C-alpha cells in the first residue's frame, strides 16, 4: 500500500535475476534453475526474503533506486519541433497527455487515469487522478504544455519492440514498412539490412535524429559485416574478439548468427565477444547445422536470443540428427519447410518440456518465437485471403509471396493437407514449449519476421500478439514480451515502460489492449457502448516515437495510396487470386 501523498507509478522494479550464468555446452543441463533458487529463498520466511531481496537489489543496481515521491524533473534538452506534413509533429518542449489509463508494460494491469508530461523525448512526470488519490490530494491544477492530448477513455502503453523484421527491397517503398509498423504500434525494430549494410546504418541514424518518420532501428547484420576481415578469418574463433570489436566501433548492436552453427566453438566465441562489447546475438538455427548446434547448445554457448522455432524439437531427439527423407535437399525450400514442421511430430515431448526447458532456463537464453510468419504453413488459404490484402498489401510483396522456387519463403506449391496437419501439430507443441518456458521464468521477447510468407507488416504485429496469447500466456504477459522483455533483450534500459525517466515511445489506444489485443489493429474491433449500440474502435490513434506524435489514420492513408499505385506491378496471371475473381474480371 502507498501512504497518503505518495505517487504510485505503474513502473517496474529491477530484476535481481536478470543476469544468467553460462555453462559449458551440453545437450541437457539438469542443474538448479533460477526458479529453484527462488523456491529456496521462499523457505527462509517472508521477512527474511523481503530483506534479502531488497539487499540484492540495492547491491546490484543502486543507481536505479527511486524515491516514493517523484523528484522535480530537470529541464529537458532543447529539442527542435519538426512538422512532417499532416503525418506527425514533435518532439515538443512540453507535451501533456491527460486522463489516460496506463498499461505500464511490466505485466501489471491498467491504472489511472494519469496526466503524463513528456519533455523532448522523455517522460518526466505522471500525476494520478484515480478517485482515492484525488480524494487525498484534493483539488490540483492540471498540467499544461505546448501541446495537450485529451486521452479520456483511451489507454496509453509502451511502444512495441519488434526484434526481428524485414524491410525488403525496391520496388516496395521503404516508407510502406515504416508507416505500417508505426500505425500498429512498433516504435523500435531490429530489421535485417535487406537493402545493404550502408543503407541500413544510414536509415537508422536518420530515424535516431527524427529526420524521417520511422521506428528507431537496430539493423540486424551478419557477423563481420562492415569490416575488412576475410572469410577464412571470420571462421577463426580466435579472431572473434577483434571482429566483434570492429563491428561495435561501427555502431552495430545486433549480430546475426544464422549460418554459423557448423562450429559451436565459433558460436561461443562470438557470443562471448558480443557481451563484452555491449552487443547481442540473434540466431536462426538453420536445419542444415542443427546436428551440431541445436537450441540447447546455442543457448549454453551464450547466444542472446533464438529466433523462430528451429532447434527446439531437435534438442529433444534421441539422436543428433532429424529424420530427413532420402531425397531431402536443404536448398529446396519446399523440402526445408515441410521437414521443419514434421520434426515436431516425432519430438520427445516429455524431454522437450522438461530437460530441454531446464537447460534453456539454466543458460539464460531469450525466446523470440515469430509465430506469425509461419502461420501460412498450417492454413495457406487463410493466409492468402485475409481481408486487408486488397487494400494494404503491396503488390511487390504479393508477387514475392506467390509460389516460386526462385524466391525465399515462396514455397507453397505441392503443399498438402498432411503438411498443414504437421504444422498444426507443430504449433500446438511449440506453443506448449513457449508457455512452459515463460511460466518457469524464461524471457519471451517479441518479433514478427514479417514481409515474408504472406505476413503483411503492421497487421502481423497484432497477429503475433494474438498467437502469443494462443500459447496460453496471459494477455498482459504477451504485452510484456513486446515491451519491457524486448527492451531488456536489446539492452535498452530506458525503453519498454510508461514511467518517468523512460523514453517517450508510447501508444494511445482507443480501447483496452489488455482486454482485447485486436484493438491494436489500425481498424480496431467491434464492441458495444454503454447503451448497447455496436461500434468499431479506432485502433491506435497516436503512436508517439521519441516524442514525435504521429497521426496514424494519415499514415494508413499513405499506405493505401502506395498500395494502389503498386497495382501496376500485378502479373497478367495470378495463380493465387485468379480462381476467386468474379467472372469477366
> Is residue 129 within 8 Å of residue 37, measured between CB atoms?
no
Cell matching residue 183: 500505425
Q: What is the pLDDT of residue 77?
A: 58
C-alpha–C-alpha distance, residues 157 and 110, integer Å? 9
- Cβ neighbours, 10 Å, residue 351: 17
Q: What is the pLDDT of residue 194?
A: 97
> Is residue 116 classed as helix, strand or coil in its secondary structure?
strand
- Beta carbons within 8 Å of 555's beta carbon, 6+ residues apart: 87, 179, 180, 182, 183, 213
How large a percentage of the chain has pLDDT more than 70? 86
Q: What is the pLDDT of residue 91?
A: 98
Q: Tell me what the mean pLDDT of segment 381-395 comes to.
A: 97
Q: Tell me what the mean pLDDT of segment 36-64 comes to.
A: 34
Neighbour order of strands in the sheet with 305-307:
220-222, 254-256, 280-283, 305-307, 366-368, 443-444
| pLDDT tens digits, 185-219 | 999 999 999 999 999 999 999 999 999 999 999 99
- Please tell me whether the overall predicted TM-score, pTM, comes out greater than 0.85 for this model: yes
Give the Å distances, CA to CA, from 46 to 33, 40, 49. Answer: 21, 12, 5
- Strands 111-120, 122-128: pairing is antiparallel
Report whether pLDDT(536) > 80.
yes
Q: What is the DSSP letter of 496?
A: S
Cell matching residue 26: 551440453
Q: Strands of 336-448 (E only): list them.
A: 366-368, 443-444
| pLDDT tens digits, 496-529 | 999 999 999 999 999 999 999 999 999 999 999 9
Task: Identify the band that residue 44 occupies on the pLDDT scale cut at 50, 70 and 90.
Answer: very low
Task: Identify the band that residue 78 occupies on the pLDDT scale cut at 50, 70 and 90.
Answer: low
Return the CA Rg of the chain. Answer: 24
128-148 residues labelled b (16+ CB within 10 A) or e (exposed):
bbeeebeeeeeeeeebebeee
- Per the prediction, the chain carries an average pLDDT of 89
Q: Tell me what the mean pLDDT of segment 351-356 comes to.
A: 98
**In the chain, where does the domain assigned CATH 2.30.40.10 lie?**
84-163+498-566
| pLDDT tens digits, 103-116 | 999 999 999 999 99
Q: Between these two residues, 517 and 76, which has the higher pLDDT value?
A: 517
Q: For residue 174, give the nearest of 394, 448, 398 by alpha carbon.
A: 394
Where does 475-582 have alpha helices with state H?
A: 475-481, 484-490, 552-566
| pLDDT tens digits, 142-191 | 899 999 999 999 999 999 999 999 999 999 999 999 999 999 999 999 99
> Is residue 215 within 8 Å of residue 181, measured between CB atoms?
yes
Task: Identify the band that residue 21 occupies on the pLDDT scale cut at 50, 70 and 90.
Answer: very low
Length of the chain: 585
Q: What is the DSSP letter of 355?
A: I
Identify the bridge partners of residue 83 per DSSP, sorted by sequence position: 89
> Is residue 507 within 8 Å of residue 188, measured between CB atoms?
no
> Is residue 170 within 8 Å of residue 447, measured between CB atoms?
no
Q: Tell me what the mean pLDDT of segment 382-406 comes to.
A: 97
Q: What is the pLDDT of residue 135?
A: 77
Indicate the fold that domain 84-163+498-566 takes in CATH.
Urease, subunit C; domain 1 (2.30.40)
34-57 residues labelled b (16+ CB within 10 A) or e (exposed):
beeeeeebeeeeeeeeeeeeeeeb
Q: What is the pLDDT of residue 539?
A: 98
Q: Between these two residues, 179 and 62, which has the higher pLDDT value?
A: 179
- Beta carbons within 8 Å of 129's beta carbon, 6+ residues apart: 99, 112, 113, 114, 115
Inter-helix orientation angle 174-183/552-566, to 10°: 140
Cell matching residue 67: 524515491
**In the chain, where does the domain assigned CATH 3.20.20.140 lie?**
164-490
Report whether pLDDT(68) > 60.
no
Q: Tell me what the mean pLDDT of segment 242-251 comes to.
A: 98
| pLDDT tens digits, 411-452 | 999 999 999 999 999 999 999 999 999 999 999 999 999 999
Residue 66's Cβ-side half-sphere holds a number of Cα atoms within 13 Å equal to 18
- Strands 280-283, 82-83: pairing is unpaired
Indicate the fold that domain 164-490 takes in CATH.
TIM Barrel (3.20.20)
C-alpha–C-alpha distance, residues 540 and 157, integer Å? 10
Q: What is the pLDDT of residue 75?
A: 52
Amino acid at each position: 500500500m502507498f501512504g497518503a501523498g505518495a505517487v504510485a507509478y505503474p513502473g517496474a522494479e529491477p530484476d535481481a535475476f536478470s543476469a544468467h550464468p553460462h555453462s559449458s555446452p551440453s545437450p541437457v543441463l539438469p542443474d538448479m534453475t533460477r526458479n529453484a533458487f527462488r523456491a529456496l529463498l521462499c523457505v527462509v520466511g517472508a521477512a527474511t526474503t523481503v530483506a534479502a531481496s531488497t539487499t540484492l537489489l540495492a547491491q546490484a543496481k543502486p543507481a536505479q533506486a527511486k524515491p516514493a515521491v517523484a523528484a522535480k524533473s530537470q529541464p529537458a534538452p532543447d529539442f527542435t519541433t519538426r512538422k512532417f506534413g499532416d503525418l506527425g509533429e514533435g518532439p515538443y518542449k512540453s507535451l501533456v497527455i491527460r486522463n489516460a489509463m496506463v498499461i505500464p508494460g511490466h505485466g501489471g494491469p491498467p491504472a489511472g487515469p494519469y496526466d503524463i508530461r513528456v519533455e523532448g523525448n522523455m517522460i518526466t512526470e505522471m500525476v494520478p487522478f484515480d478517485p482515492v488519490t484525488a480524494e487525498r490530494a484534493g483539488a490540483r491544477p492540471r498540467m499544461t504544455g505546448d501541446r495537450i492530448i485529451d486521452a479520456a477513455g483511451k489507454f496509453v502503453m509502451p511502444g512495441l519492440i519488434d526484434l526481428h523484421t524485414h524491410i525488403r527491397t525496391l520496388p516496395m517503398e521503404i516508407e510502406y514498412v515504416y508507416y505500417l509498423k508505426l500505425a500498429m504500434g512498433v516504435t523500435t525494430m531490429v530489421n535485417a539490412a535487406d537493402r545493404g549494410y550502408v543503407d541500413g546504418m544510414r536509415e537508422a541514424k536518420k530515424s535516431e535524429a527524427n529526420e524521417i518518420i520511422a521506428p528507431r532501428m537496430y539493423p540486424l547484420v551478419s557477423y563481420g559485416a562492415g569490416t575488412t576481415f576475410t572469410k577464412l578469418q571470420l571462421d577463426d574463433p580466435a579472431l572473434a574478439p577483434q571482429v566483434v570489436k570492429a563491428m561495435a566501433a561501427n555502431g552495430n548492436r545486433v549480430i546475426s548468427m544464422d549460418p554459423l552453427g557448423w562450429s559451436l566453438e565459433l558460436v561461443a566465441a562470438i557470443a562471448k565477444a558480443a557481451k563484452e562489447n555491449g552487443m547481442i546475438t540473434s540466431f536462426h538455427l538453420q536445419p542444415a547445422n542443427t546436428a551440431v548446434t541445436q537450441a540447447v547448445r546455442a543457448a549454453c554457448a551464450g547466444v542472446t536470443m533464438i529466433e523462430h522455432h528451429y532447434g527446439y524439437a531437435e534438442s529433444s531427439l534421441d539422436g543428433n540428427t532429424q529424420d530427413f527423407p532420402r531425397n531431402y535437399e536443404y536448398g529446396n525450400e519446399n523440402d526445408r519447410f515441410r521437414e521443419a514442421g514434421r520434426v515436431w511430430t516425432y519430438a520427445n515431448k516429455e524431454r522437450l518440456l522438461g530437460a530441454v526447458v531446464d537447460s534453456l532456463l539454466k543458460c539464460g537464453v531469450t525466446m523470440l518465437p515469430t509465430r506469425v510468419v509461419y502461420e501460412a504453413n498450417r492454413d495457406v488459404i487463410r493466409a492468402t485471403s485475409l481481408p486487408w490484402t486488397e487494400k494494404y498489401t503491396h503488390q511487390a510483396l504479393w508477387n514475392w509471396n506467390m509460389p516460386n522456387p526462385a524466391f525465399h519463403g515462396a514455397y507453397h506449391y505441392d503443399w498438402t493437407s498432411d503438411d498443414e496437419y504437421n504444422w498444426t501439430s507443430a504449433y500446438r507443441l511449440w506453443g506448449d514449449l513457449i508457455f512452459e518456458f515463460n511460466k518457469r521464468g524464461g524471457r519471451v521477447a517479441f518479433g514478427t519476421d514479417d514481409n515474408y510468407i504472406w505476413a503483411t507488416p503492421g497487421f502481423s504485429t497484432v497477429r503475433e500478439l494474438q498467437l502469443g496469447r494462443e500459447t496460453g500466456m496471459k494477455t498482459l504477459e504477451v504485452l510484456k514480451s513486446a515491451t519491457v522483455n524486448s527492451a531488456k533483450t536489446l539492452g535498452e534500459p530506458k525503453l519498454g515502460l510508461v514511467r518517468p525517466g523512460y523514453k517517450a515511445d508510447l501508444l494511445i489506444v482507443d480501447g483496452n489492449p489488455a482486454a482485447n489485443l485486436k484493438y491494436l489493429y489500425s481498424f480496431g474491433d467491434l464492441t458495444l457502448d454503454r447503451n448497447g449500440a455496436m461500434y468499431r474502435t479506432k485502433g491506435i490513434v497516436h503512436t508517439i516515437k521519441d516524442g514525435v506524435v504521429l497521426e496514424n489514420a494519415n499514415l494508413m492513408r499513405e499506405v493505401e495510396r502506395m498500395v494502389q499505385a503498386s497495382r501496376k506491378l500485378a502479373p497478367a496471371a495470378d495463380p493465387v487470386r485468379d480462381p476467386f475473381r468474379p467472372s469477366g474480371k
